[in-house]
Amino acid sequence: EVQLVESGGGLVQPGRSLRLSCAASGFTFDDYAMHWVRQAPGKGLEWVSGISWNSGSIGYADSVKGRFTISRDNAKNSLYLQMNSLRAEDTALYYCAKDMSLYGSGPHDYWGQGTLVTVSS
């Protein structure tokens, strides 16, 4: 059974940093790209970032480019999101999501339950 478990969320002041983690199990982690998707309270889904199976290809939404860094450790079956210079508008539930396509880029067939990030003074 595929499982994605996010952690690392919490309350943080504007301008500070936070690192999210996603522990994956139930599939061959290093065969698939992975993504972060967020959802502000009461709002829609926003794709944040994605990373290919071998970290060779990385993409970011314009809203986080230059502030957030995605990474993965295939030996630990883990995905990360380093978030710097946080703003109030980064407040959201952050989901870790598995890419459906082997080696390629595709939609998200499995999602975690999310970790809540609240940016407030």
| Residues in contact with another protein by the rule CB under 8 A | 35, 37, 44-47, 50, 57, 59-62, 95, 100, 105-109, 111-114
In the complex with another protein, the residue whose CB is nearer, 17 or 57, is 57
* Cα–Cα dist 16/55, whole Å: 26
CB of 16 to another protein, least distance (A): 26
Q: Are the CB atoms for 6 and 81 separated by under 8 Å?
A: no
**Which of these, 59, 60, 69, lies nearest to 17 by C-alpha position?**
69
Q: Pairing state of beta strands 10-12 and 115-119?
A: parallel
